[in-house]
């Protein structure tokens, strides 16, 4: 099963570690530093040119990626639930 996270990007549900709300989590200095360091190290993939609403942390085959998406966390979570139910 997979999750469509914006534009032509999908991630496998089994690879998802966290789906985070961009606005509420980036209030924290620690989160901002984490994202800055991840970007400097090349772990970030921006899947949209729009205002970011969420970021999805994944790990696959020992490689971590953080996807910045313009899709709200509530929408992403609903999509995951529909996939799990088979809708």
Q: Give the model confidence (pLDDT) of 31-52 as tens digits.
A: 999 999 999 999 999 998 899 9
pLDDT band at 82 (very low <50, low <70, confident <90, very high): confident
The residues, any chain, with a CB within 8 Å of residue 80's CB and separated by 6 or more, are 3, 13, 16, 19
Residue 19 has pLDDT above 70, yes or no: yes
**Domain count of the chain?**
1
State the Cα–Cα distance between residues 54 and 74, nearest whole angstrom: 9
Domain limits for position 74: 2-85
- pTM score over 0.85: yes
């Amino acid at each position: 099963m997979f999750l469509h996270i914006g534009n032509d990007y999908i991630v496998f549900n089994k690879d998802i570690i966290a789906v985070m709300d961009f606005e509420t989590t980036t209030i924290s200095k620690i989160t901002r530093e984490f994202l800055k360091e991840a970007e400097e190290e090349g772990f970030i993939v921006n899947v949209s040119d729009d205002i970011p609403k969420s970021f999805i942390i994944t790990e696959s085959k020992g490689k971590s990626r953080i996807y910045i998406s313009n899709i709200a966390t509530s929408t992403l979570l609903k999509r995951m639930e529909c996939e799990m139910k088979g809708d």
